[in-house]
Amino acid sequence: MRADRLMAVLALLQAHGKLSAKEMAEKLEVSERTVHRDTQALSVAGIPVYADRGSGGGWSLPEGYRSRLTGLTTAEISSLLFPRDVVRDLGLEGGARTAASKLLASLPPRTRRDAELVRERLHIDGAGWRDAGPRDAGASLAVVQEAVWAARKLRMTYRPPGGEEAKDKLIRPLGLVFKTGTWYVMALADTEDELRTYRISRMEEARLTAESFERPAAFDLASAWEQSLASFRDRLPRYEAKVLVAADVWSRFVRERFVTVGGHADGGEGWIEAEAEFHTPDAACGVILAYGRHVKALAPQELRERIAGEARAMSAMYAGDEE
């Protein structure tokens, strides 16, 4: 561990030119005393680390000095490949900081200044504007990650959706997937080759076994996940309806997350008549009511009657307030 920290000290000095003990301690999350011990160790090892005393002083390397860094560790490389929230869940924040320091240290001074400028002024946030709710990493994530990385079988107590009783399963975990704040593992059953997707937060217990397994040579995680999503969507219930949508809300209606808009035509007088597919009658009723007088259900009749009943109930509720 100390060897990694010494390399991190060297990378910081190469990237920044001069840093005080306090600045290095903050970046490395150690005490200033530890920084002094590390810089002295580098000096004893033959690295020309110099201390400038007084105001504006600090630790520095001679102008133009370049070290031959040993390269990035597996954790550091991983931290560069994943989004920030994934890095946090997998405990790779330290690797991300060290990797950034090493990469900056490897650049010539002018390029390094440009890279620092970009990092200070540009931030990429991969999350959507809609709040995904509480994070759902699950207590078993670390064990599942280890099983995936080491290609070891995993025994778990898994609670299926819908309130079913938890079951004990032995799986061959092939890959982790992170989507909208939730972690999943794609795995094969111990004796079957049918690929399944498990939500890690539904694991009541996960235990790493000593038994390893051979990963399928042709397995591609991204393709497998896309196929799993397509299969999930195909299994979703469908409820077809015909609607009349005001033209001024049409662009918003066709972007509704749980509505699939099919054929449509001009309905006249600022309206668009369209075929729409919802998941359930409840979903159709909720979406249409949310648009108020801007969307009208034309068919089926059961949906029209249900929306009309809800509208009458709402009208009566507000009429009672006026009295």
In contact, 204 and 198? CB cutoff 8 Å = no
pLDDT over 90 (residue 181): no
In contact, 14 and 66? CB cutoff 8 Å = yes
pLDDT, tens digit, 9 for 90 and up, residues 288-313: 999 999 999 999 999 999 999 999 99
Ordered by where they begin, the domains of the chain are 2-76+92-121 (1.10.10.10), 141-235 (2.30.30), 239-322 (3.30.70)
* Reported pTM: 0.51
Residue 69 to residue 11: CA distance in whole angstroms: 8
The reported pLDDT for the residue numbered 281 is 93
The reported pLDDT for the residue numbered 125 is 46
In contact, 190 and 205? CB cutoff 8 Å = no
Work out the average pLDDT over 252-262.
Answer: 91
The reported pLDDT for the residue numbered 221 is 87
Work out the average pLDDT over 57-67.
Answer: 71
DSSP letters, 82-139, are: S-HHHHHHTT-HHHHHHHHHHHHHTS-HHHHHHHHHHHHH-----S-SS---S-B--T
The reported pLDDT for the residue numbered 129 is 46
Run of H or E residues at 58 = strand 58-60
pLDDT over 60 (residue 133): no
